[in-house]
Amino acid sequence: MSKPYVAGMDIGGTNSVFGIVDRDGNILCTDSIKTQQYKQLDEYVDAVCDGLRPLIDKFGGISQIQGFGIGAPCANYYTGCVEGAANLEWGKGVAPLAKCFSERLGVPAALTNDANAAAIGEMKYGAARGMRDFIEITLGTGVGSGIVANGQLIYGHDGFAGELGHVIVEKGGRPCGCGRRGCLETYCSATGVARTARERLEQSDEPSLLRAIIDRPVESKDVFEAAVKGDKIAKEIFDYTGKILGEALADFTAFSTPEAFILFGGLTKAGDFIMEPVRKYMEASMLHLWKGKVKVLVSQLKDADAALLGASAIGWDA
């Protein structure tokens, strides 16, 4: 029954990257197409299959593939559909991707969002191996999350659960892309760090290396580079970001009490500049029951591989 490989795909706004993965989490080969090049769902599915078949054939054909796991925005695990993805021409309504691919390829296919895929990848191959209760927090352009409790991913009643980036951490705070105010992701994403930088620089005339960046907006990696050089404002920006994230993690602990929070994505490259304040403020805000009991770890998935690897992982049980 059990076959040696899965196929996986990460559907990004620009590229759809697909490949073949073995049971140890080795990505054996990949290819990609442009996600936005196709207006109709059928065209898109055809293009993916045309790209994927040669890779499958390299490893013994479809009979060697256990399933196809897909990570996508607005993915509903229960229905196998992408639902209302505003940025995808072929995904604006309800796009039944899992059904399309399983019919076309002849293997089971399953779909989840990228943060859930990262959580599953982490559980199978990364920092969460052996854990039954953990929360993956993805800190990228936005903030996403994948929540594992009792060894299972929480999909909720409708298949969309685990959107901790949209927990409101500051009532009446920063406007969010979702139309509300004060969501965690307006502070703790890469974009949020850049917003904090802009605010801080405007608030005073205090000298900062960041003031030398005049030809373009300050980005979160500029803040990291300035912090490395000892810049006080840059370090304060990470402290502020870490306070908001750490306090949020203390609140999340009251929900599912994970063994660990696992942070993934661009912002974790700032290392201790972000991890230390996150841990410090989480502990300070933690209910006495859980003080000293919850770890904050950096993902062990390689950035370049994580999305595809995580997505492929759901192919094993598709």
Residues that bind its own copies (CB under 8 A): 132-133, 147, 149-150, 152, 154-158, 160-164, 166-168, 171, 178-180, 247, 250-252, 254-259, 285, 287-290, 293-294
Query: Between 49 and 167, whose beta carbon lies closer to its own copies?
Result: 167
Query: Between 19 and 192, whose beta carbon lies closer to its own copies?
Result: 192
Q: Residue 75 forms beta bridges with which residues?
A: 82
Give the torsion through C-alpha atoms of 71, 76, 81, 86, to 10 deg.
-80
Burial label, 276 (beta-carbon count in 10 A; 0-12, 13-18, 19+)? middle
Shortest Å distance, C-beta 259 to its own copies: 4
Shortest Å distance, C-beta 279 to its own copies: 17
Shortest Å distance, C-beta 275 to its own copies: 20
Shortest Å distance, C-beta 246 to its own copies: 12
Query: Between 144 and 315, whose beta carbon lies closer to its own copies?
Result: 144
- 3-state secondary structure at position 185: helix
106 CB-side CA count, 13 A: 7
Residue 81: both structure tokens together: 């559909």
Cα→Cα distances 135→214, 263, 271, 298, Å: 38, 9, 19, 12
User: What's the full length of the chain, in residues?
Assistant: 318
Query: Between 2 and 150, whose beta carbon lies closer to its own copies?
Result: 150
How far is CA 124 from its chain centroid? 16
Shortest Å distance, C-beta 257 to its own copies: 3
Burial label, 150 (beta-carbon count in 10 A; 0-12, 13-18, 19+)? exposed
Query: Between 255 and 317, whose beta carbon lies closer to its own copies?
Result: 255
